[in-house]
């Protein structure tokens, strides 16, 4: 009996998720219409306790993580509006604005984002 209840709860969650996903038509970062591929970005990284997700294009998702460390996403840029205020993200948004929904290009990790430095500038001893 417990399996059926659990199964029904899972179905209800899946139906709710499906309804949410079909209602979303624009990327949370660039506001362009979503294409055939959609990724879900944790606004605050899951590793930092975040649960809220937003739909984004794959290229937009990669641009976020190429320019901002998870630590900074959790502490300094916990909203989409805060990301828009970053110069590198704003430059990306201007560049991507007129591209088609399924546009893809290689994304390079910013030299400012280093897993060891957590996005901090290098230390100088002068």
Flag whether 20 is in a domain: no
- Phi and psi at 71, nearest 5°, equal -60, -45
Quote the radius of gyration of the chain (alpha carbons, Å). Answer: 18
Flag whether 5 is in a domain: no
86-109: pLDDT as tens digits: 999 999 999 999 999 999 888 777
Flag whether 97 is in a domain: yes
43-89: pLDDT as tens digits: 999 999 999 999 999 999 999 999 999 999 999 999 999 999 999 99
Strand 39-42 to strand 53-56: parallel, antiparallel, or no bridges (unpaired)? antiparallel
Structural domain range at position 52: 25-114
Flag whether 16 is in a domain: no
Flag whether 120 is in a domain: no
- Phi and psi at 87, nearest 5°, equal -60, -45
Flag whether 48 is in a domain: yes
How many structural domains compose the chain?
A: 1
């Amino acid at each position: 009996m417990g399996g059926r209840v659990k199964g029904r709860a899972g179905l209800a969650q899946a139906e709710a998720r499906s309804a949410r996903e079909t209602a979303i038509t624009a990327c949370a970062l660039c506001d362009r219409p979503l294409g055939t591929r959609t990724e879900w970005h944790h606004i605050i990284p899951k590793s930092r306790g975040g649960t809220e997700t937003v739909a984004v294009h794959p290229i937009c998702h990669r641009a976020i993580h190429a320019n901002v460390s998870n630590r900074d996403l959790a502490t300094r840029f916990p909203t989409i509006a805060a990301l828009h205020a970053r110069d590198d993200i704003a430059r990306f948004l201007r560049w991507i604005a007129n591209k088609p929904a399924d546009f893809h290009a290689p994304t390079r990790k910013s030299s400012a984002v280093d897993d060891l430095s957590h996005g901090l500038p290098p230390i100088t001893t002068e």
